[in-house]
Each structure stands twice: as structure tokens, then as C-alpha cells.
Amino acid sequence: MIPFNFDYYRPESILEAVQIYKELDSQGKAPLYYGGGSEIISMARVHNVHTKAVIDLKAIPECNTLEFLGEQLIIGSSVTLSQISESNFFPLLGKSCSRIADHTMQCKITLGGNLGGTIIYREAVLPLLLSDSYALVTSDENKLKQVSIHDIFNERLHLPRGEFIVRFIIGKEYTSLPYVHVKKTKNEKIDYPLVSIAALKKDDRIRLAMSGVCSFPFRSPQIEECINDKSISREARATKVLDLLPAPVLNDISGSDGFRKFVLKNTLINTLETLEGKL
């Protein structure tokens, strides 16, 4: 049970949602945009989130799109992880979504909610980073702007106050590329990751993003240069990656930093073998 009262709004258009937010914000109600709501509820129960109003985005048609339009795959921010997985429109993204939480929660967690949440792993962003996707975002001028995922996601989602993602735009070509998704956990398959790797092969080069290793998900140009350097062995490349990580390796109850490095190295070798061929 949430230990405080709040007002609930369910706008049916983007403009209505933005206007409601501005009005509530001016009243000091610290409104929150609401997708699946699972994290807001769980965080509120332990007093890590407090608001006097939530704005549910699920009734906005543009936030619920899941379809190919020409050469683009369009995924609304309110589309759930289970919908993405079951559609199989983007197999790598579907595989990533199917390993986040259990099936019951996947039916509630939205793509936008996973990226914007406070849980550090945000695994659904990995395929979006690899595919150089775009997001359609609201703005103060009551207009929509299309921005690169790389411009709004760096360790976490960065949006100006009051803005929200309407939909994600992914090039259709990325949905059929060779890929690898590996998630290593301490216990159950739905546990938080020790290492979660997503990789795509495009133009004979491997793109790689990971979560669970550091305190944020990331894609690193330096790491990609390293793993595509075929002048050295796969084991040497995987070992070198350990020195190119952008932040300290996590050391917590799920796994020590040393164990995570061990798992990461072996997972990288297996990923390279899969995408390059076992030669």
C-alpha cells in the first residue's frame, strides 16, 4: 500500500499531458509521469518516491504504437516489455526485454519506464544504443522533437523537467542483423545481472553494449575498437576490455568485482566466437 495520497490523471493526448504537468508543477505537486507504475509503487512503499500527482500516459495513442512504418520500427514509450518480446519485431530488443523481471512484471513495465526508472541496470536501453535509435520527445513549445538516444541517455535518461518520451524510432535494418544477447545472474534468470551483454554485427563490425558491470549501462567506442581488432586473439581482446571499462566494476551482494570481471571476460570471448565464427 502506498503510504500517501495523490491525484491521478489520465490524459488522452500529448498536449493534454503536458498542460496537466505544467499546471500541477506550478502548484508544487511534484507530478510524475506514469507508465507501468511498478517502480513508482515499489519506491513509494519504502519512502524513496513522493508525489502529490501522477499522470498516466497509457491512454495516449502515440505512446502505444508498435509497428513498422516504412523503413522504421516505431515503439511507443508505454508499450510493455512483454508486448515487445512477443512481437519479435526486433529480436535483440525482445530478448533483452524477456529477461527483465518475471513475466507478470514484464506485462506492466514499459519501455519508457525501464529507461527512466531508478533501478541502475536499465537493460532495455542496450539494443537502442546499438541501433543508434531516436526518440520523439515533448518540449516546452508544445511541439515534438526527434533526438538521438545518445543525446538523452548517458548513464541514465536525461530530459528537461516536464518532458517525456512519446516513442522510439529504430531503423528497420537493425532488426534483422546477427546478434547475441547474454545475461549472467547469480541465481534465477530474472535476477539482476552480474553481466548483461547485447551485441549486433553490422558492416562486418561488432557493436557491443553492457549492463550490470558498472553502475550504469553503456556502449563504449573504445571497447568496440578493441573487440574488432582481429590482429590479436579473442582472449587478448576480452582481457583488454577490462582495462577500458568507463567506471569501477560493481562489487555488491550479487557478485564481487573480481567475479564480475571473470564472467565478463568469458562472456565476451563467447560473444566474439558466435559473431565471428569459431575459427
33: closest CA among 13, 50, 57?
57
Count of other CB atoms within 10 angstroms of residue 160 = 10
pLDDT tens digit at each of 279 positions of the chain: 566 788 999 999 999 999 999 999 999 999 999 886 667 666 666 656 678 899 999 999 999 999 999 999 999 999 999 999 999 999 999 999 999 988 899 999 999 999 998 899 999 999 999 999 999 999 876 789 999 999 999 999 999 999 999 999 999 999 999 999 999 998 876 789 999 999 999 999 999 999 999 999 999 999 999 999 999 999 999 999 999 999 999 999 989 999 999 999 999 999 999 999 865
User: Integer distance in angstroms from the first to the last C-alpha of the chain?
Assistant: 56
Question: Would you state the CATH architecture of domain 179-276?
Answer: 2-Layer Sandwich (3.30)
The pLDDT value given to residue 42: 67
CA of residue 12 relative to chain centroid, distance: 25
Cell of 48: 524513496
Count of other CB atoms within 10 angstroms of residue 65 = 18
What's the whole-model pTM score?
0.94
137 within 8 A of 159, measured Cβ to Cβ = yes
| CATH topology for the 61-172 domain | 3.30.465
Rounded Cα–Cα distance for residues 17 and 33 (Å): 9
57 within 8 A of 33, measured Cβ to Cβ = yes
Instruction: Count the alpha carbons within 13 Å of 23 in the hemisphere toward its beta carbon.
Output: 11
Cell of 192: 539482476
- Phi-psi sector, 127: left (phi>0), alpha (psi -120 to 50), beta: alpha
The pLDDT value given to residue 1: 58
The pLDDT value given to residue 277: 86
The pLDDT value given to residue 41: 67
Rounded Cα–Cα distance for residues 117 and 37 (Å): 10
82 within 8 A of 97, measured Cβ to Cβ = yes
